[in-house]
Structure 1
Amino acid sequence: MIHFIKKLRASNLEILENPLSTQIYGDYDVVMDLLKTEIKEVFELMDKGLLLIKVVKSDRHDYKPHF
């Protein structure tokens, strides 16, 4: 999965990482095209794997905890 994360970082999309998730922000078609390509590539490099994806229609890139 490190290969996958590095490919996301190299994209022109806004990528936010934390210990529990990697968030990708950008145009829907651009994000989905990137995911389609990179998920296929990383799965070809692995014998077995699991990838969980949540797709959310909102822009939370500037979210700040308020507690």
Structure 2
Amino acid sequence: HIKRPSNNFILFRKIAHDQKNQTPALSDYNERQFSQIIGKIWKGLSQGEREEYKQLGKEVAEMHKKMFPKYKYQP
């Protein structure tokens, strides 16, 4: 089974999660709490900040398409 490429928010969350694991003050939060915090931060980002993740999402989608040219999303 081939997974779908990650969307903009999921990429943002993955990067934030990596930082969480490297920051002792953030490691006290469980996954549910962390997801709630990340959701609020995401909603507070400016269009410019979100645009960076949109571009990253496009790059990930292009790489995914090259790696799996016959992939078709099937829910």
Higher helix share: 2
Q: Which has the larger radius of gyration?
A: 2
Give the TM-score of the pair, scaled to structure 1: 0.37
Larger RCO (alpha carbons 8 Å, 6+ apart): 2
Give the TM-score of the pair, scaled to structure 2: 0.34
